[in-house]
Structure 1
Amino acid sequence: MKKLNINDVIIKPLITEKNSRLTADHSTYVLEVHPDATKDDVKRAVEYIFAKSNAKVKKVNIAKVKRKAKKMGRFDGFKKGFKKAYVILSEGVIPIYGADGVEKEKKSANKKGLKIIDTEKLMKEAEKDIK
């Protein structure tokens, strides 16, 4: 087994209705992870990558999703299988839905001297010009 880079452990968040309910009710996040990743790898990666949002992992559960048969016309094939991790946080958040992360990015971008365009303000001005 080769050593994984900490940035390669988490592939993407899995966002479904069920996973959104888990996040809202139980502070549980579901992530697609590298097939060779272990629970310790996932814990270290989440705490390292989301350190700014003070994410502290309480528990990690891992499940493998098997590949499924798929037909497309007369062709047979498979949907790929993957490994997913259920990450339960004791404190902090993982900003995967954007609302929390966008506000923080706006504040940090202003500190860097970048100009942020307010689209809502532009739309209101455009409506006034049309009328």
Structure 2
Amino acid sequence: MSQDRLMKVLLAPVVSEKSTMVGEKHGQVVFHVVPDATKQEVKAAIELLFKVQVESVQMVNIKGKTAHFGRFAGKHSDVRKAYVTLKSGQEINFAEVK
């Protein structure tokens, strides 16, 4: 895995009520990732960028909903999320990340 690829795997952290509850309850952090990302790439990218140890990664594919924009039918984009479990005592502080 090249370092250029690892820098492009993570798109953004998910900040929602559900992701916050999951973080508090299970010590997980949720990220949007590129559609072709693997668990090993996500683990390596998080360890490289945030300098933390990752215990496990679960991936979820969410199909985009169909929607109507005025009289035109369309579709929202498909999304791939990664639920990352950090080892105990590890924490990601997004305020310190450059």
TM score, norm. by length of structure 2: 0.88
Q: Tell me the secondary structure at the aligned position of residue 66 of structure 2.
A: strand
The corresponding residue for 1:34 is: 34
Structure whose residues are more often helix by fraction: 1
Equivalences for 1:111-122 in 2 at 5 Å? Answer: none
User: Of 60, 78, 89, which aligns to 1:81?
Assistant: 78
User: Of 82, 93, 96, which aligns to 1:95?
Assistant: 93
RMSD value, Cα:
1.9
The corresponding residue for 2:62 is: 65
Note the C-alpha offset of 1:25: 1.9
Note the C-alpha offset of 1:24: 1.6
Gaps of 5+ in 2: none
The corresponding residue for 1:114 is: none
CA distances 1:69-100 after superposition (whole Å, capped 9, x unpaired): 0112211101100111000000421223x3xx
- Runs of 4+, deviation exceeding 2 Å: none
Structure whose residues are more often strand by fraction: 2
Structure of larger gyration radius: 1
CA distance in 2, matches of 1:92, 1:86: 15
> Percent identical across equivalent pairs?
34
Report the AA paired with residue 43 of structure 1. Answer: K
Equivalences for 1:5-16 in 2 at 5 Å? Answer: 5-16=5-16
Q: Which has the higher contact order (CA 8 A, sep 6+)?
A: 2
How many corresponding residue pairs? 95
